[in-house]
Amino acid sequence: MLNSNQTLIGTDEQTDRRSYLAWLMGLCAAGVGTVLALPLVRFLLYPIKVKTTDLKWSDVGPVSDFSSLNAPVQRSITVEQIDGWRKNVSDKVVYVTRNAENGLQVLSAVCPHLGCSVQWRGTLNEFVCPCHSATFKPDGTRTGGPAPRGMDTLQSEIQSGRLMVRYQYFRQLVPGKEVIG
Ligand code: FES
Protein backbone atom coordinates (compact mmCIF):
# COMPACT_ATOMS: atom_id res chain seq x y z
CA MET A 1 0.00 0.00 0.00
CA LEU A 2 1.39 3.48 -0.96
CA ASN A 3 1.72 6.19 1.60
CA SER A 4 1.04 9.85 0.78
CA ASN A 5 4.77 10.60 0.14
CA GLN A 6 5.03 7.80 -2.45
CA THR A 7 1.88 9.09 -4.18
CA LEU A 8 3.39 12.61 -4.43
CA ILE A 9 6.70 11.28 -5.79
CA GLY A 10 4.80 9.31 -8.46
CA THR A 11 2.83 12.40 -9.45
CA ASP A 12 6.06 14.48 -9.76
CA GLU A 13 7.66 11.85 -12.00
CA GLN A 14 4.59 11.79 -14.27
CA THR A 15 4.59 15.60 -14.44
CA ASP A 16 8.32 15.62 -15.38
CA ARG A 17 7.73 12.98 -18.07
CA ARG A 18 4.81 14.97 -19.50
CA SER A 19 6.85 18.20 -19.50
CA TYR A 20 9.72 16.46 -21.28
CA LEU A 21 7.36 15.01 -23.91
CA ALA A 22 5.73 18.40 -24.42
CA TRP A 23 9.17 20.02 -24.83
CA LEU A 24 10.20 17.30 -27.31
CA MET A 25 7.00 17.72 -29.33
CA GLY A 26 7.47 21.50 -29.35
CA LEU A 27 11.00 21.08 -30.64
CA CYS A 28 9.81 18.72 -33.39
CA ALA A 29 7.02 21.14 -34.37
CA ALA A 30 9.50 24.04 -34.54
CA GLY A 31 11.84 21.93 -36.73
CA VAL A 32 9.03 20.91 -39.10
CA GLY A 33 7.77 24.52 -39.20
CA THR A 34 11.23 25.79 -40.14
CA VAL A 35 11.62 23.22 -42.93
CA LEU A 36 8.16 24.05 -44.32
CA ALA A 37 8.80 27.82 -44.12
CA LEU A 38 12.05 27.73 -46.15
CA PRO A 39 10.39 27.45 -49.59
CA LEU A 40 7.99 30.27 -48.63
CA VAL A 41 10.89 32.52 -47.58
CA ARG A 42 12.73 31.73 -50.83
CA PHE A 43 9.55 32.53 -52.81
CA LEU A 44 9.10 35.87 -51.01
CA LEU A 45 12.76 36.88 -51.42
CA TYR A 46 12.94 35.86 -55.12
CA PRO A 47 11.71 39.24 -56.48
CA ILE A 48 14.34 41.07 -54.39
CA LYS A 49 17.19 38.95 -55.76
CA VAL A 50 16.05 39.05 -59.40
CA LYS A 51 17.03 42.08 -61.48
CA THR A 52 13.92 44.23 -62.07
CA THR A 53 15.15 45.48 -65.43
CA ASP A 54 15.91 42.16 -67.02
CA LEU A 55 15.03 43.11 -70.60
CA LYS A 56 15.01 40.67 -73.45
CA TRP A 57 15.93 41.54 -77.03
CA SER A 58 12.96 42.46 -79.23
CA ASP A 59 12.74 41.63 -82.92
CA VAL A 60 12.41 44.68 -85.20
CA GLY A 61 12.46 42.67 -88.45
CA PRO A 62 14.82 41.25 -91.10
CA VAL A 63 17.79 43.57 -91.58
CA SER A 64 17.24 43.27 -95.36
CA ASP A 65 14.05 45.34 -94.88
CA PHE A 66 16.22 48.31 -93.98
CA SER A 67 19.09 47.92 -96.49
CA SER A 68 17.82 50.72 -98.75
CA LEU A 69 16.50 52.90 -95.95
CA ASN A 70 16.65 56.62 -96.78
CA ALA A 71 14.05 57.91 -94.30
CA PRO A 72 12.96 56.79 -90.81
CA VAL A 73 10.41 53.97 -90.67
CA GLN A 74 8.11 53.23 -87.76
CA ARG A 75 7.94 49.73 -86.28
CA SER A 76 5.91 48.22 -83.45
CA ILE A 77 7.90 45.80 -81.31
CA THR A 78 6.94 43.43 -78.51
CA VAL A 79 8.85 44.08 -75.30
CA GLU A 80 9.22 41.45 -72.59
CA GLN A 81 10.35 42.67 -69.16
CA ILE A 82 10.93 40.58 -66.04
CA ASP A 83 9.80 42.38 -62.89
CA GLY A 84 10.46 40.07 -59.93
CA TRP A 85 8.27 37.00 -60.54
CA ARG A 86 5.99 38.93 -62.89
CA LYS A 87 6.55 39.04 -66.66
CA ASN A 88 5.31 42.17 -68.47
CA VAL A 89 4.69 42.03 -72.20
CA SER A 90 3.82 45.23 -74.07
CA ASP A 91 3.99 46.73 -77.55
CA LYS A 92 6.19 49.78 -78.15
CA VAL A 93 6.75 52.08 -81.11
CA VAL A 94 10.29 52.65 -82.37
CA TYR A 95 11.84 54.23 -85.46
CA VAL A 96 14.56 52.64 -87.53
CA THR A 97 16.73 55.29 -89.11
CA ARG A 98 20.32 56.04 -90.11
CA ASN A 99 22.88 57.64 -87.82
CA ALA A 100 25.52 60.19 -88.80
CA GLU A 101 27.83 57.36 -90.01
CA ASN A 102 25.05 55.98 -92.24
CA GLY A 103 24.63 52.91 -90.02
CA LEU A 104 21.28 51.63 -88.80
CA GLN A 105 20.02 52.86 -85.44
CA VAL A 106 16.77 52.45 -83.52
CA LEU A 107 15.14 55.43 -81.79
CA SER A 108 12.55 55.43 -79.02
CA ALA A 109 9.38 57.31 -80.04
CA VAL A 110 9.00 58.66 -76.48
CA CYS A 111 9.62 62.40 -76.45
CA PRO A 112 12.38 63.35 -73.96
CA HIS A 113 10.36 66.43 -72.96
CA LEU A 114 7.19 65.00 -71.33
CA GLY A 115 6.81 61.60 -72.94
CA CYS A 116 4.40 62.15 -75.85
CA SER A 117 4.81 59.97 -78.91
CA VAL A 118 7.05 61.65 -81.50
CA GLN A 119 5.87 61.30 -85.12
CA TRP A 120 7.80 61.24 -88.38
CA ARG A 121 6.61 63.86 -90.90
CA GLY A 122 8.02 62.81 -94.27
CA THR A 123 6.85 65.99 -96.03
CA LEU A 124 8.83 68.11 -93.57
CA ASN A 125 11.72 65.62 -93.42
CA GLU A 126 11.73 65.80 -89.61
CA PHE A 127 10.28 64.29 -86.46
CA VAL A 128 7.65 66.43 -84.73
CA CYS A 129 6.21 65.98 -81.26
CA PRO A 130 2.47 66.78 -81.38
CA CYS A 131 2.31 67.95 -77.74
CA HIS A 132 4.64 70.96 -77.61
CA SER A 133 6.13 70.95 -81.13
CA ALA A 134 9.66 69.74 -80.37
CA THR A 135 11.39 68.90 -83.66
CA PHE A 136 14.22 66.49 -84.48
CA LYS A 137 16.34 65.62 -87.53
CA PRO A 138 15.92 62.21 -89.22
CA ASP A 139 18.80 60.89 -87.06
CA GLY A 140 17.02 62.09 -83.88
CA THR A 141 19.12 65.22 -83.24
CA ARG A 142 17.07 67.99 -81.61
CA THR A 143 16.40 71.01 -83.82
CA GLY A 144 13.79 72.99 -81.86
CA GLY A 145 11.11 73.15 -79.19
CA PRO A 146 11.21 72.41 -75.47
CA ALA A 147 12.78 68.91 -75.56
CA PRO A 148 16.05 69.08 -73.54
CA ARG A 149 17.90 66.58 -75.78
CA GLY A 150 17.59 64.59 -78.99
CA MET A 151 15.50 61.43 -79.38
CA ASP A 152 16.87 58.49 -77.40
CA THR A 153 18.77 55.78 -79.26
CA LEU A 154 18.15 52.19 -78.15
CA GLN A 155 20.77 49.46 -77.96
CA SER A 156 20.50 47.43 -81.17
CA GLU A 157 22.40 44.72 -83.03
CA ILE A 158 21.96 42.26 -85.86
CA GLN A 159 21.33 38.65 -84.76
CA SER A 160 20.98 35.92 -87.41
CA GLY A 161 19.99 38.42 -90.10
CA ARG A 162 17.42 40.21 -87.92
CA LEU A 163 17.60 43.69 -86.37
CA MET A 164 17.16 43.29 -82.59
CA VAL A 165 16.68 46.03 -80.01
CA ARG A 166 16.69 46.31 -76.21
CA TYR A 167 13.90 48.70 -75.28
CA GLN A 168 14.50 51.00 -72.30
CA TYR A 169 12.91 54.01 -70.65
CA PHE A 170 14.84 57.25 -70.11
CA ARG A 171 14.39 60.16 -67.72
CA GLN A 172 12.49 63.08 -69.21
CA LEU A 173 13.26 66.79 -68.81
CA VAL A 174 17.02 66.31 -68.39
CA PRO A 175 19.68 67.16 -71.00
CA GLY A 176 21.56 63.84 -70.59
CA LYS A 177 20.28 60.36 -71.41
CA GLU A 178 19.58 58.47 -68.13
CA VAL A 179 18.16 54.96 -68.10
CA ILE A 180 15.30 54.58 -65.61
CA GLY A 181 14.07 51.12 -66.53
S1 FES B 1 6.11 66.15 -74.87
FE2 FES B 1 7.15 66.41 -76.73
S3 FES B 1 7.52 68.50 -76.87
FE4 FES B 1 6.49 68.25 -74.98
162/94 same-domain check:
yes
The whole domain housing 23 covers 1-49
Q: Name all residues whose Cβ lies below 6 A of ligand 1.
A: 111, 113-114, 116, 129, 131-132, 134, 145-147
37 and 71 assigned to the same domain: no
Same-domain check for residues 65 and 111: yes
Q: Are residues 6 and 40 in the same domain?
A: yes
CATH value at residue 130: 2.102.10.10
β-pair partners for 180: none
Tell me the C-alpha distance between 158 and 172, whole Å: 28
Query: According to the model, what pLDDT value does residue 37 have?
Result: 73
Residue 181 in any domain: the answer is: no
Report whether pLDDT(73) > 80. yes
- Distance (Å) from CA 106 to ligand 1 centroid: 19
With respect to residue 180, please indicate whether it lies within any of the assigned structural domains.
no
Main-chain phi, psi angles of 155, to 5 degrees = -65, 125
Q: Ligand 1: distance of its center to the CA of 129 in Å?
A: 6
Summarised one tens digit per residue, pLDDT across range 86-145 is: 888 999 999 999 998 999 999 999 999 999 999 999 999 999 999 999 999 999 999 999
Dihedral in degrees, nearest 10, Cα atoms 136, 137, 141, 142: -30
Whether 75 and 40 map to the same domain: the answer is no
Q: How many domains does one find in the chain?
A: 2
Same domain assignment for residues 43 and 81: no
pTM of the model: 0.72
Domain end: 25, 49, 73, which one? 49
Examine the pLDDT at 4 and tell me if it is beyond 80. no
- Does residue 112 sit within a domain? yes
pLDDT exceeds 70 at position 176: yes
Spatial contact of 36 and 29, defined as CB atoms under 8 Å apart:
no
Q: Which of 107, 118, 120, 129 to mutate to test the pocket of ligand 1 (most atoms within 8 A of CB)?
A: 129
